[in-house]
Amino acid sequence: MSSSGPFDEQPAVWPSGSGQLEELQRKLALRWRSEPVWRPQPDRPPRVGAAFATTFRGMVGTGAAGDPAWAAAVLCVKGALVKSAVLTGRFDAAYVPGLLALREGRLLQEAVLALGARLDVLMVNATGRDHPRGAGLAIHLGAACDVPTIGVTDRPLVATGPEAGTQRGAVAELRLGGELVGYRVRTRVGVRSAVVQAGWRVDLDTACKLVLDATRGGRTPEPLRQARRLARASRSN
């Protein structure tokens, strides 16, 4: 994995200011359209990673710069945890919708690199195309790490669309400005649907299939659930 490609003309992979990040996001959104699409190999199960970052319990507000942070990355094959890495640090910025990369991007990339494992695809608790400038953190992190990505969130950021049906596997389109940017996906009967988005070099059909394949009894795909569990367990130590 490398940090080249879409960042060759940029002074930093993870900008420190909103103006610079917004410019980079627009360039990533354009680059996204021309990147080759990744497909799972038919002869073996995909090596699915996930990355998740959290802060201390009982935080007041949406989050400030310097908040303590715990970031975890995992590798799973057929739902089984194969390898993990957990880092402790601090968030670089306050939380602002559409600018999550300023807060979490650097730490998540460090966690993925610390994993030291080859990933076929990475699941991220962040948006992809459902973003004011068309390139949320799921896309940004994939480009930075040079790995295909899928965004999995609790709710849309700016896209709109109906709720998914009640049966597992039911989907409903989420659109932004006429573009299909994600799906609400019912991963389990009786629970709120997840929002699944194509990230870096992954189309929506592949993203939905992998999320459903990786969800085993719960609402969240197993790799992302494991990364979240490890990050939260680390902050308790």
pTM over 0.95: no
Residue 187 CB contacts under 8 Å (≥ 6 apart), including other chains: 168, 193, 194, 211, 212, 215, 218, 219, 220, 221
Whole-number pLDDT of residue 235: 85
Measured on CA atoms in the order 120, 116, 98, 192, is the torsion positive or negative? positive
The residue ranges of the chain whose pLDDT is under 70 are 1-12, 58-61, 237
Q: Which helix (H) or strand (E) holds 89?
A: strand 80-90
- What is the per-residue pLDDT across 168-197, written as a single tens digit (0 to 9) for each? 999 999 999 999 999 999 999 999 999 999
Given 3-state DSSP classes, what are the helix, strand and coil percentages for the chain, each rounded to the nearest 5? 30, 25, 50
* pLDDT for the residue numbered 12: 64
Cα gap 195→161, rounded to integer Å = 11
Which domains can be identified in the chain, with CATH numbers?
20-235 (3.30.2170.10)
Residue 81, Cβ neighbours under 10 Å: how many? Answer: 15
Nearest to 210 by CA among 152, 143, 140: 152
Residue 3: predicted pLDDT: 40
pLDDT value for 59: 62
Taking CA atoms, 163 is separated from 129, 156, 170, 191, in Å, by 19, 11, 9, 12
Q: Are 1 and 111 spatial neighbours (Cβ–Cβ below 8 Å)?
A: no
